[in-house]
Amino acid sequence: MLRAARICPRLARHHAQWRSVTTSSSIQTPHGHLPSTQSPIISELKFFNSVTGDGTQIPTYRVLDGGGKPIEGAQVPELDEAVARRMYEQMVQLPTIDNLMYQVQRQGKIPFYMTHYGEEATLIGSAAALALDDEVLAQYRELGILLWRDWPIDALMNSCFGNCEDIASKGKQMPMHIGSAAHHFHMISSPLATQIPQAAGVGFALKRDPARRGKNCAVVYFGEGAASEGDFHAGMMFASTIPSPTLFIARNNGFAISTPASEQYYGDGIAARGPGYGVHTIRVDGNDVLAMYNATKEARRLCIEEGRGVLLEAMSYRVGHHSTSDDSFAYRGRQEVEDRKRLDNPLSRFRLFLESRGWWSASDEEELRSRLKKDVLAAYRRAETLPRPPVSEMFDTVYGGEEPWTITENREELKRLLKKYGQTWGPWQAELQKHKGAGQDLMGS
Amino acid sequence: MNLYQAVRDALSNAMMRDDTAVVFGEDVAFGGVFRCTMGLAEEFGRERVFNTPLSEQGIAGFGIGLASMGHTAIAEIQFADYIFPAFDQIVNEAAKFRYRSGGQFNAGSLTIRCPSMAVGHGGHYHSQSPEGFFLAAAGIKVVIPRSPIQAKGLLLASIRDPNPVIFMEPKILYRSAVEQVPVDDYQLPIGRAETLVSGSDVTLLSWGTPIYHCETAMHMLNSPPETLARHVPESLRSAKVELVDLRTILPWDVDAIVESVTRTGRLVIVHEAGRTGGVGAEISAEVQKRCFLKLDAPVKLVTGWDTPVPLAFEKFYTPDALRVLDALVETLSY
């Protein structure tokens, strides 16, 4: 394997304090170099604008073609049948959940939802290649990672309804803002890219922890739109400069709400930025679950072994609308989406591969789809009937330790108002009934 | 010790007791531009005391990540004036981390230190007192010490508080305030004001640098210099001023302030930040609500003006001893 010291001797020397690897090699150039850089001095006036040197774009790594066959020279990962089947099942589970939740949001039963259509392979391929206790920091379209780690569908449904069994945020955040400490999946928040420099901090903490050093990395997911935020720049820079084992996975699905990637950047995608930060980088066909698996596995190994950031750009296509608050046909053609769905479907690609191995059949497919539908519907029905958390939960966990007087007084004030108006002011009266205990937790003696 | 040495001593104490504690920020490895981290890198190693790239949002985000893993993250923002690039990470992330996850995650072991307040010649961006901007960020705490003893005790408490804390160090005091500071590990309570001088006629409330202007003003009230004597009525010269250091801006000590104003019937609040939307406005609103029947005069605010901090006009901008004296006279004679 390649060591960082061979690839990037300048970085190795600059940060000798951080690593045991040192190098004595010095590049010989006729005109020498400036004190702040190893860059050779030249006399030719020459600009450049390409990472690859010859002007071509960074290539995209692929294992399976559209028909589920390994492409020439590609190495198929050694997956046993059980794991491969589970990957496919998890991929199918995503649209099963998405279909139902999208519909019920349309019916007004949950306030909001975001689908994962078209990114199933990106999510499951990477999830399967990570250790179950690698710390994941996600954007919002990464449900597959948590489900791969056996986060119960019940937990998802409870979170979408913000009911009294929602352990993710206790009814405080919007649907799809999920997280589970037990599953090493940090809580999702709406502000884009904020999780990226946080991931570098998480990576650094892992490296400082003797029990996890060399075993785990931080993994941060974000879209190509979020990569335009200043926090992306900060995160990449911190993970490379303050070496922190952080795997950056950019989901480049072509759109940030209505903005096409062509209006998001002028360079060669997100991958082209990695080398600028001194970060090992790869671009992967995000619709090819085996390519995602291989690339993530190797990226993770590199990340942990060198204790530093690695960037993986997964190319896919956002088949669904941005969210339930978005009609994407206002800015892209219906036909374009249909074509993409037909030509390059990550699920059928992997299914064809499984079938070619004799690992999957039409009856397996039928059994899976009806089982998933049944399970998802059962979890949905259960979550739907549960009341919201007790009203007093609203004031809990703003602070740790002693509760500040401001919040205690807020609580008392609402209690007074509920006692006075709770049974007479229509909007409150109806709303109280949706909460566990109907406000008695607050109003009770 | 002076104030920067007290800060350094607190950091050393914190790191000694807690292996997960790390100190980072711009230029902290060589000792910091204000000397607050002198020798720490040599004492604890570069893995625990290190420079970051020059990016405040990165520093805050990185610190939140460390804290979310239970590590003690002590971040430095070089000047409070430059904390604004990290405003999103502090307000949307650190402050809401615990609440939004139903208590599953928190960034409680994060402390952000930053030099603040005017220094005589800092102009717009080396003088600000941005504590008021953080007043509405439920979930964080904001602490400002007035002296070396206070700085060490409050900083150690901030580092160990289970919530993210912004610790603002009045930079003009780094070298000028000197006192005997215990070398032992000790903490002072967060969320508690401290009465420095007891009195019964007016409550004078401040924090950080202006505490010293308040002290001077009190002396001037008791025995005004000849040039000011005609502005200070004889009848007010024996007035007993109660001087209170708020110390914690969020959550501020409402009980102590209300108790004091209930006794004195008068309140003057002094802070360097501009008036509109400042901390003084919040406190005076709360005090007039709770002490309405006890107040003998309107609550008076002595603050910076509603302008950026101006370089050549700083003497006229800052709430100095004269302005505090004038406010005391006005309030006492109302």
DSSP per position, A107-153: TTSSS-----TT-HHHHHHHHHHS-TTSEEE--SS-HHHHHHTT--H
Q: What is the pTM of this model?
A: 0.95
Query: Distance, in angstroms, between B57 CA and closest chain A CA?
Result: 7
Q: Where are the domains of chain A?
A: 81-385, 391-443
Nearest to B68 among A186, A396, A397 (CB): A186
What's the pLDDT at B328? 98
Interface size A-B, in CB pairs within 8 Å, comes to 160
Least Cα separation, residue A3 to chain B (angstroms): 22
> Of B44, B48, B68, which to mutate for an interface test with A (greatest number of A Cβ within 10 Å)?
B68
The alpha-carbon gap from B242 to the nearest alpha carbon of chain A, in Å, equals 24
How many angstroms away from the CA of B191 is the closest CA of chain A?
Answer: 8
The CA-atom distances, in angstroms, between A303 and each of A249, A438, B59, B64, B191 are: 12, 50, 21, 21, 43
Q: Omega of the bond prior to B251 within 30 degrees of 0, cis?
A: yes
Residue A1 has a pLDDT of 35
Q: What is the pLDDT of residue A152?
A: 97
Report the candidate in B57, B2, B59, B5 with the shortest Cα–Cα distance to residue B27. Answer: B59
Which pLDDT does position B178 carry in this prediction? 95
List the single residue in B with minimal CA-CA distance to A389.
B102
Portion 5-44 of B in contact with A at CB < 8 A: 20, 22, 24
The pLDDT value given to residue A443: 86
Report residues of chain A scoring pLDDT below 70: 1-28, 445
- Cβ atoms < 10 Å from Cβ of A29: 12
Cβ of residue B288 closer than 8 Å to a chain A Cβ: no
Contact assignment for A235 to B254 by CB distance below 8 Å? no
**Class at the top of the CATH hierarchy for domain A81-385:** alpha beta
The angle that helices A153-161 and A362-385 make with each other, rounded to 10 degrees, is: 40
The 10s digit of each residue's pLDDT in A251-301 is: 999 999 999 999 999 999 999 999 999 999 999 999 999 999 999 999 999
Look at residue A30 in the predicted model and tell me its pLDDT: 86
CA A90 to chain centre: 16
Question: Residues near A242 by Cβ (< 8 Å), separated by ≥ 6?
Answer: A18, A200, A204, B24, B50, B52, B53, B62
Q: Which residues of B are catalytic?
A: 56, 126
Tell me the CB-side half-sphere exposure of residue A290, using CA atoms within 13 A: 24
**What burial letters (b/e) apply to A333-363, b meaning 16+ CB within 10 Å?**
eeeebeebeeebbbbebbbbbbeeeebbeee
Q: In what order do the strands lie in the sheet with B165-170?
A: B49-51, B22-25, B73-76, B110-116, B165-170, B141-143, B248-250
In A, which residues are within 8 Å of B163 by CB distance? 399-401
Name the residue in chain B with its Cα closest to that of A18: B47
Domains and CATH numbers, chain B: 3-173 (3.40.50.970), 194-333 (3.40.50.920)
Our measurement of the distance from residue B70's CA atom to the centroid of its chain's CA atoms, rounded to an integer in Å, reads 26
**Predicted confidence pLDDT, tens digits, chain B (334 residues):** 999 999 999 999 999 999 999 999 999 999 999 999 999 999 999 999 999 999 999 999 999 999 999 999 999 999 999 999 999 999 999 999 999 999 999 999 999 999 999 999 999 999 999 999 999 999 999 999 999 999 999 999 999 999 999 999 999 999 999 999 999 999 999 999 999 999 999 999 999 999 999 999 999 999 999 999 999 999 999 999 999 999 999 999 999 999 999 999 999 999 999 999 999 999 999 999 999 999 999 999 999 999 999 999 999 999 999 999 999 999 999 9
